Structures are given as structure tokens and as C-alpha cells.
Amino acid sequence: MPSSKSVTFILIFINAVALVTSKSTIEPCTNSDSCNALLAYTLYTDLKVSEVASLFQIDPIALLTTNAIDISYPDVENHILPSQLFLKIPITCSCVDGIRKSVSTHYKTRPSDTLSSIADSIYAGLVSADQIKEANSIDDPSVLDVGQSLVVPLPCTCFNGTDNSLPAIYLSYVVKEVDTLAAIAARYETTLTDLMNVNAMGSAAIKAGDILAVPLPACASKFPRYASDFGLIVPNGSYAISASHCVQCSCGPGNLNLYCMPASLAVSCSSMQCRNSNLMLGNVTVQQSSAGCNVTSCSYGGYVNGTIMTTLSTYLQPRCPGKSLINDIHLWEIEIVHSWGHEIL
Ligand SMILES: *[C@@H]1O[C@H](CO)[C@@H](O)[C@H](O)[C@H]1NC(C)=O
Ligand SMILES: *[C@@H]1O[C@H](CO)[C@@H](O)[C@H](O)[C@H]1NC(C)=O
Ligand SMILES: *[C@@H]1O[C@H](CO)[C@@H](O)[C@H](O)[C@H]1NC(C)=O
Ligand SMILES: *[C@@H]1O[C@H](CO)[C@@H](O)[C@H](O)[C@H]1NC(C)=O
Ligand SMILES: *[C@@H]1O[C@H](CO)[C@@H](O)[C@H](O)[C@H]1NC(C)=O
């Protein structure tokens, strides 16, 4: 139940002079487990893919796949993304002093930077100047050394990777002047009630600068805890690359079952064939039997000690969809991912 999420609102003074208060959704946490989350980020200037990735210290490939950009595009890491482009940034959400927070981002100051320009422009309001000041114990913000490495604490929530018992990944969204809660709900295909529940809001009133947690439907993995990609969660309409860039896992559009197959970039990878079978990762075969239709699939089970784990499973369904139909569905999913990518590029 959303109300049991024990979300609390805290007031943060983002502008000491005007005393403008912004709200931010805080998720209490108890253990040290980290989880995956997203930031809604609008580019402040033209930047290369690799530059945006280094701003958040994330893998450029992860940035591209999260935004459904085709990574087989030539020289894609040097592609220039235009100012004002909206991106989803995949981050690791930790548990620090009892609340969910991302603390893995560091920013190296450049001449003419101020705490406000770093907070409001470069990190697009996802952090405030005061939060950077506090996180780095800065006494006098008017003297920033060029080349100084600053911790940039960023907002994130995970809520156990679920929303109303369905798998979800949470996007930290900075409210803009023109936004209404209803419009945000519509844009992310959720409801006003759900957004209010998730963010523990008593009313639908929002203000520019508030940071909301927006649940996005996602496909969850069920890899064992000892897998290095344990907890992989992929938002609907995008994909992720795992297992040292060997495996590609996509989500949607037809259903929310994570679908993994060998990645197009795969070069030197351990075997992606299911044991005791000639099926490769992602392969599905259907066999008509007297009892119905025997569907066998070879699926990805996580990356363990440099080994790609595979699972062969068979289930019986009453009616055969036909082998070509199953393959068509998967091909269509991959094609959708790629064509979205080209729209962005
Ligand atoms: C988190 O979700 C899992 C299923 O994904 C469930 O088994 C578990 O009870 C949930 N934990 C909490 C604290 O809600
Ligand atoms: C996933 O995305 C597709 C394409 O945008 C959409 O048609 C579908 O309804 C989405 N699924 C869910 C569960 O939101
Ligand atoms: C199995 O998967 C591989 C790699 O994705 C693909 O090339 C091959 O066509 C698939 N075979 C079947 C029978 O689906
Ligand atoms: C499905 O087919 C596989 C391989 O042909 C076979 O081992 C298995 O027993 C079959 N399962 C059912 C439920 O028919
Ligand atoms: C991974 O490898 C290490 C060292 O080789 C071993 O101790 C550990 O048990 C392995 N883990 C798994 C899950 O196989």
C-alpha cells in the first residue's frame, strides 16, 4: 500500500534570501543496500554523451540504453546531445544516515562556477547550493578553488522497487513553473492519486523547485543476491546492458517481463547457450504436444563471477501461438527500442 511507505516531507530552504521553500520526498531506509533509481535531467548546454556521463560518473552505455538510444550508432559516445534535451539518468541510490540518497557524484569546479550555478544550472535544480555547501563543509561559498572536487548529493527513492505491488523504478523530478501535478501524472502515465500517495501529499499543490518521486513501470530481474547485477530493473520502453556488455535486457512494450538476449556489441563473452540444450539466451521454441503447447525458453539468470548464468525452462500452455509469432514479438520489441533511439539522435 502506498500509504505504508512512510514517506515524509521535509522543508528545504533553497534560497535563504527570498525564503522560497521547496519540498522533496524523503524515503527512510534502514540497511546499507543500494538500489537503482533515475533522475529527470534537462541539459543546460550542448554536451557529448560521454560528457553527460562523466557529469554523473555513470557508464555512457547505461545513459544511452536508459534513454533507448541505439548504442550501435557509430561513435555514439561522441554524439552531441542538444541543450534542453530531457534525459533520464540512471543512478545508484544508497542509504545514508537513514535516508535514500545518491552520493556517488562528484563535480570538479571550473573557473566562474558558483555553488548556485552548479546546483541550478549544471545539475538542473536536482540539488541546492546549500546542500552542496553542507555536504562539502564549505564555510565561504564565495571562494571555490578551481579543480576542487565537490560531492553532489542527489535525490533518489526506490520504495522497494514497487508501486502498488507492481515493479517500478522511481524518477526524481524537479517541478517546473508550468507544471501541474495532473499534467505530470498524465505525462508519466500514472494517476494523480498515485503521485499524491507516493509523495505523501495532502493536496495536489506543487511549486517550481519541488522534487517529486515519479514511479515508472519497469521490468524487474530475479537474479540471485550474489549476482553482480542483482536488482537490475529496466524502465518500460528502454533496455540495459549487463554482464560486461555481453547481455542486453529490454522492457516492454507488450508486457513487463524482462527479456534478455546476447548484446549486439558482445565480443568476448562466456557462453550464452543454455546447458543441455541448443538454445541461446533469449531463444524461445514452441512444440505442439498432445497436452497442448510446450514452450521452452533460455533466459538470463544474472552475472556471477564472470559467468553468464542461464536458465532453461519449459511450460505448457493450452494453445500454441505459433513459433513465428513468438519470434515476431521479440523482434518487434527490439525494433521499437531502436527506432525510439533514432528519434532522440
Ligand atoms: C519488497 O518487495 C518484495 C517483492 O519484490 C517483497 O517480497 C518484500 O516483502 C518487500 N519488502 C518491503 C519492505 O515492502
Ligand atoms: C509500456 O510502454 C508502451 C509504449 O509506450 C505502452 O504502450 C505500454 O502501455 C506501457 N506499459 C505499461 C505497463 O505502462
Ligand atoms: C537464438 O538466439 C540467437 C541469438 O540471439 C539468434 O541468432 C537465433 O536466431 C535464435 N534461434 C532461434 C531458434 O530462435
Ligand atoms: C517439453 O519439451 C521438452 C523437450 O522436448 C521435454 O523435455 C519436456 O518433458 C516437455 N514438457 C512437457 C510439459 O511436455
Ligand atoms: C566467486 O568466486 C570466488 C573466488 O573464486 C568464490 O569464493 C565465490 O564462492 C564465487 N561465488 C559464487 C557465487 O560462485
Residue 324 lies in a domain: yes
Q: Which residues contact 136 (CB under 8 A, 6 or more apart)?
A: 150, 151
What would the pLDDT profile of 120-154 be if each residue is shown by its tens digit? 999 999 999 999 999 999 999 888 999 999 999 99
Residue 89: is it exposed, middle or buried by C-beta count within 10 angstroms (0-12/13-18/19+)? buried
Name the grid cell of 39.
533522475
Q: How far is the CA of 283 from the centre of ligand 4 (A)?
A: 16
Distance of CA 247 to the CA centre of its chain: 17
Residue 33 lies in a domain: no
Residue 290 lies in a domain: yes
What would the pLDDT profile of 278-317 be if each residue is shown by its tens digit? 999 999 998 887 778 888 999 999 999 999 999 999 988 8
Residue 328 lies in a domain: yes
> In this predicted structure, what is the pLDDT of residue 20?
53
Residue of minimum CA distance from atom 3 in ligand 5: 305
Q: Do 198 and 3 form a contact (C-beta atoms < 8 A)?
A: no
Per-residue pLDDT for 19 more than 60?
no
Residue 232 lies in a domain: yes
Name the grid cell of 152.
553532489
Q: Which residues contact 145 (CB under 8 A, 6 or more apart)?
A: 109
The structural domain count of the chain equals 1
Pocket of ligand 5 (CB under 6 A): 226, 304-305
Residue 297 lies in a domain: yes
Residue of minimum CA distance from atom 10 in ligand 2: 253
Q: Do 37 and 168 form a contact (C-beta atoms < 8 A)?
A: no
CA pair distance 6, 30, nearest whole angstrom? 13
Residue 42 lies in a domain: no
- Domain residues for the domain of 304 are 221-332
CA pair distance 119, 128, nearest whole angstrom? 5
Residue 129 lies in a domain: no
Which of 2-16, 65-79, 247-261 has the least mean pLDDT?
A: 2-16
Phi-psi region of 245 (alpha: psi -120 to 50; beta: other; left: phi over 0): left
